[in-house]
Each structure stands twice: as structure tokens, then as C-alpha cells.
Structure 1
């Protein structure tokens, strides 16, 4: 967005609202740029103007200023509230651009508390190796959901174990299937197959141990594989 420093926040809000038309969610990658320790307090207009002016003097480039990034995240929350959309947040591992310890989803707790009055569902993507923290947030906060996208394609034969660790805490109605396939089309197929195999192995073990019935296992699989996403994204 190109705008005078005093108009930066307004221009971003308008651009984001236009881009969100017809979308099913908005997504933030603030984890990559400044980490997930997002303050509950929204930056003041004076702070945003000063940061936008500093960015203009520096010649623009990649957006890394925490003040502007936090303002952008709060703006996304505002737009999502108006359009009744979920807000997705990258958490956990990804490409080498992320500093991993700053992508721990538990760092979002203050922001989650501040976001609750908006009624916007917050969807924590990926999570690994902090998937238990993501599961805790989904358990502790009514509007937090989580997925394991990207993870199962990397953990290989431990996919069932990682899914089990997630479901130790995450409510069954709040875990979403995702492959996070990118680049090669085959990654979508591999991700889906690995997730099905891992979830099937996990639920098979639960049934063998008497922890659930076949009907319980089928219902959980339907929730995670499709029904939770259909409900959350209204699709």
C-alpha cells in the first residue's frame, strides 16, 4: 500500500476489505515477520503514523516494522469481524524465513484474549513442533481452532502419534484437516494420504483399546476431515 504516513492505516483497511470480498478467510504471516508475541493493545494512530513515516524514509521494501505489522493484524481482525470471516495465523515451522521459537502459538495468548470480543474465529495453522500449545489454545479459548497442515507430510510414520498428541487436548470439533500442499500437485495427494493413514491408525488403536466405538471413530473422522471446516468456513 502506497499512502502518506497519516493515511497508511486507512489505506490498508480499505485495500484489505477490497481483497477480502468473496474470500472465506484472511491469513496472517506475522509469525515470519515479527513473531507471535502480539500485544493485546492496538498501536495508537500516532505510533502507526510515525512507523509509516519511518518506513517511507527508508524507501519501503519488505514490511517488518512490528508497529505496522500489529496494526495490520488488528485491521484484519476488524475486517473479519465485519465480514464474519475466520482469521488464520501461521504458527510453528515453515521455510527458513521463520525464526522458530518466535512462532510458538502460546505467544498469541494476549492477542487471543483481546480478540475474543470481536467474535472472530482464530485458526492456528500448522503448529508443529508446538502443536500441543496450539491444542491447548483451542481447548482454552472458545474461538480458537487449529490444524496440522504441512506437519503430517514431514513426520512420516509418526503422523498417528502427532495426531494423538494434538487430540489429547484439542476438542474434536476444533481440529481441521489440511495438507498445506504447495508447488508440486503430488504434495496434496501425499498430504491427504498421510493424514488418512495417520488418523486411521490412531482411531484403530483407540477402538482396539476400547477407548471409542466404531461409531465414535467414524464421527470423529468426519468432523476432522470435513465437517469442522464446512461449519467454520460456511462452505
Structure 2
């Protein structure tokens, strides 16, 4: 009965997906779908369906397209094309049973749903997360002198976060410079010199001084700050995305804004440590969940929860492109966490009431509290 209560709680919970992206709004041909199925490049001699993520799509997503479980890839793709992107998105987004999506709108190499379009397709509430590097690059593209860059960026960020529905900001410093940055706040002269170098050569914001300036500006905003850590695509240098590299910066910013460590794998234990020693550090294992699939989600969550305070773990999918990932992330989280909590209840490490409470906190209420979303449960019992 205790196990049933945990599973029923998670199955009926309108999850808060505190970090995701939009779903593709244009039809994806087989090559386009395959390119989005993994974080890597296309493989000429192997199918992306022959991966844990690909197997999970065929097993858990095929029935939502009226196909048998484990439908062959070609059959799956043909049915997907037959239904069209709007219907595919509607089915998977609603099947996820997510009540709230917080959408990073700063990454869109493909045409994907806006937060409003995602809300219409899913029936969920949606909020926006502003990507700071995108703001900086827009400031540069608009034309600015080096000595005016620092203030121009600050003004642009403040304007962006004052838009209705914005609940947080995000940085991809792990991609641009790595997280092994000088933790101190750069002075104005240093920012001006760095801005001069960057504006002269153009391109993405990848100057370490300006990334530091970006992170410290985010602290001044007072909003939750999401930081990419761990798992990502081939543009990332994984060893430089270890969240433990942030330790000195977190020490300097302690007590200011909530810092949300995204994804984390394979560094979920390092992230857990940071959540213990720093009061305003939180984590998730999003993105990882749909890549390992429901079969292994519990193992990843178990490592994340070895020492993480139960008020510090959040749910996210980091889904981008195929709406299958919005569904698979939620499914893997529900099943993985339910299995983990069930084991602890059966071992008498948790009471049934505690397990239900942790399920609610992790799937919904922690995010509501951190982002100050409406509807936070005040029942800790």
C-alpha cells in the first residue's frame, strides 16, 4: 500500500519542468529527427535509434502514435509524419502530464514552440527563462562601444527580465569558457578591455572576463540562475563543466540568488555535495533522464539523492525539438523516483508519509518555491 501511495502521488502530480525548450513545429524528416535524437553528430554506419534514447522512444512513445510497443524505426517515423507536428506535439506534451513548463527561449536553431504555443499544445502553464548569452550577443549586434558595453548589457538584461512571465535566467558558461573561471567580479576597466577584444572580432560571447561579468550581473538581478553543468553536445568540453569548479564562485555569492545546477551527469554527486554545503544551490538530472530511459533513471536519481537535501532536487526534462523528450523525461522521472522511494520504504529507511512528501517536493513544490510560482503546497506532512 505504501508503494502504491508513492506511485499514485507521482502519477497524479502535475510536474513542474523547471528547464526545457520548445517542441519542433515543422515536420522532421528521418534525417532531421535522427539528428535530434542524440546530442552527437549523425552516424553514417549506425542508427540513432540503436541507443538507449532511441529504444526508449520506440518502446514508450510508439503507443501514443497508435503503434505497438517497439515499432520499427521506419514505421515510427512514417506514422509521425502522417500525424504531422501539431498533433504529435499535442499527444506527447499532454501525455507528459506536466502542469508547468519553464522554457529557455535562448536556443532555437530549429523552429520550436514559443512558451505561449507550448501552453496551447500542452494545456499547461508556461513561464520564460532568459538566456544571458543571447542578451549579450544581441547587445553586441545592435552596436555598442567597448566602454559602454557593461552598462548596456546590464540595462538590456533588466529590460528582458521585466517582461511578463519571466521567472529566471540561464547561462551556458560551461560551453563558452568552462566553469573554471576566476570567481571575482571584474572591474570596469577589465570589462571594457575585454569588450573591445570581443566586439572587434565578433562571434559568440566566449571571453572569460565578459562571462564573469555576465554571471555577476545575474546575481544582481535577484532571480534564480540556471547554470548548464555536465552532459551536453560535442561543443562542450565535459571536464570543464564539472559543477565542483564553481565552488569558489558559490562561496562568494552565498546567500544571494538561488543557483540551479542543470543536468549534472556524470557529476551528479559533485552537484549533490554543493547542494549540501551551499544553502541556495539546487540541482536536477534533466536531459540525462530521456537519454538513459525509464529503465535506468532510478540509478541516476539514486546517486543524485545520496546526500542531496530533499528540498534541493528539482525535475527538468531539458527537452528540445522532438516532443517525445518532454514525455520521456517526465515518464522516466516518475518511474525512477517511484522505484527509488519504494525501495527505501520497503527497507524502512523512509516512512510512507515521508516518501509521498519527497515525491511532491521533488516533482513540483521545490520548483514552485524556488521560482515563486503560484500554487506552492504549504503541507509538509
TM-score band, normalised by the shorter chain?
Answer: over 0.9
Instruction: Find 2:288's aligned residue among 143, 148, 151.
Output: 151
Using the size of structure 2 for normalisation, the TM-score is 0.59
Q: Deviations over 1:57-108 (max 9, x none)?
A: 22x11111111111111111112x2xxx111100001111110000000000
Distance (Å, rounded) in 1 between the aligned partners of 2:188 and 2:206: 18
The TM-score, its normalising length taken from structure 1, stands at 0.95
CA distance in 1, matches of 2:203, 2:319: 28
Match of 1:223 among 361, 377, 381: 361
Superposed counterparts of 1:100-115, under 5 Å:
100-115=238-253
What secondary structure sits across from 1:134 in the alignment?
A: helix
Question: Which structure 1 residue ranges, 5 or more long, are not aligned?
Answer: none
**TM-superposition CA deviations, 1:156-185 (whole Å, max 9, x none):** 322111111111111000100111111011
SS at match of 2:193: helix
How many pairs does the alignment contain?
229
Larger deviation, residues 222-231 vs 108-117? 108-117
Q: Distance in 1 between matches of 2:199 and 2:322?
A: 38
Secondary structure of 1:63's match?
Answer: coil
Separation in 2, partners of 1:209, 1:169: 18
Which secondary structure state, in structure 1, belongs to the residue aligned with residue 260 of structure 2? strand
RMSD over equivalenced CA pairs, Å: 1.0
CA distance in 2: counterparts of 1:7 and 1:113, whole angstroms? 29
CA distance in 1 between partners of 2:354 and 2:192 (Å): 54
- Answer whether contact 1:38 1:110 (CA < 8 A) is retained: no
Q: Is 1:10 aligned to 2:151, yes or no?
A: yes
Greater relative contact order (Cα 8 A, min sep 6): structure 1 or 2?
A: 2
1:120 aligns with 2:262: no
Larger radius of gyration: 2
Secondary structure of the structure 2 residue equivalent to 1:124: strand
The gaps in structure 2 that reach 5 residues or longer are: 1-138, 374-381
1:98-133 superposed Cα distances (whole Å, 9 cap, x missing partner): 10000000000011011114x211110110000000
- What does residue 115 of structure 2 align with? none
